[in-house]
Each structure stands twice: as C-alpha cells, then as structure tokens.
Amino acid sequence: MRLVLASNNAKKLRELQALFAAVPVELVAQGSLGIAEAEEPHITFVENALAKARHAAAACGGAAIADDSGLCVDALGGAPGVVSAHYAPMPADAADDREALRAAQDAANNRLLLQRLEGVADRRAAFVSTLVAVRHAADPEPLIAFGRWDGQILQALQGDGGFGYDPLLFIPDLGLTVAQLPAATKNAHSHRARAAAQMRALLHAQWHLG
C-alpha cells in the first residue's frame, strides 16, 4: 500500500521510513509526486496534521499520513509549539537551496530560543509529535497517534546530529542531547518513535496492515 507523507523534509522521510519499515506500506514524500505543501493555520498539532494529511490525500487520490511536531517549552507556555520550524525570522542572507535554508532556519530558531530562555531557571521542555493517517481525503475516521519526549533545554548547543532543536534538548535518562544520539537510539526513544508505535498498532487494528 502506498502511503504519501505530507512533507518535503528529507530527514523526516528517512526517519519515518525507518520507523514504519515493519509495516507493508511504501512511504513516499508528497514532493516526489508534485504535491505542494499544505497551509498550517491551526494552533494545535492535531489540527495541522489532519489538514496536511487531507491535503495530500486529496492531491494523490489515496492514503496519506502527516506528522506535525515541535518543541514545547514549559517556561514559554508551550512555545514555540506549532511554529517550531519557523520560530525565528528567516535570515536575510539565507541561501536558496532547500537544505541550506532549513539549516539557516534551524540556527536562527535555536538562537531565538536561547535568547528567550536567558536567565530562566526552569528549562523543562518536550518534543511532541502527532501523526494522522487517512485512507482518503474525506475519511471520517482518521487514525491519530501522539508521542512526547521530555527533556531540558541546555544553555548551548551540543552535538551535530539530527536537525532543528536536537542540539539543545538534553535527555536526562540518556545523558545526551538528541543531536548526540545514534540514529538507532533516537528512533527507539523519540517523540516520533512513540507516535509511530501507536500508529503502527492502529494501522494493524483498523486498516489491517501488518
């Protein structure tokens, strides 16, 4: 079964392909099918994920899955939340290449987060992920899964793996930042891994896959 991922993020595609390797689905990025990214106007992860999944499903005429995820910081009232990917203004001198743009945005986001937490003692935060899958654009029974990965925001970046806020979120149970973790460890413990585990169970029980 083909399952279109409502994202053009290559790193997210690889991560989810690994997490769904045991499920008999072919996970393909919407960009490879010429599908534009959907609007994300909502203030909650679940609403945005559902909007993205329905958009991709309508465009491809079949099943789709979407992930809406981000960083929620306790001391900031849950911010950056659904705007995690675009928390800071894009640098004016950012390159035109997609991956270079993402790297520049990540760096700007991390700088802004550290500025807003300057002098703040409560550094508790969590990566959260909501996965939504639909059989078709008008599916009245979308599958919805949630994952949360608790940690603490450091004072400075540590590690060069992963993407986004990975170098800033320290996981006490593992003694490393997300950016310092091997890919296999991240895929076993992450917010997206936890949401994916729920989604795999739902795909088996509701869509009879696997």
Q: Is 160 a catalytic residue?
A: no
Q: At what angle do helices 10-19 and 191-206 cross, to 10 degrees?
A: 50
CA angle, 28 as apex, 147 and 59 as ends, to 5°? 100
| Burial letters 89-120, b for 16+ CB under 10 A, else e | eeeeeeeeeeeeebebbbebbbeebeeebeee
**Which residues fall within 8 angstroms of residue 145, CB to CB, at 6 or more apart?**
130, 131, 132, 195, 196, 197, 198, 199, 202
63 close to 134: Cβ distance less than 8 angstroms: yes
Question: What is the CB-side half-sphere exposure of residue 17 using CA atoms within 13 A?
Answer: 13
Residue with tokens 């004016």: 92
Catalytic residue among 67, 68, 106, 166: 68
Closest of 131, 157, 128, 134 to residue 144, by C-alpha = 131
Catalytic residues: 68
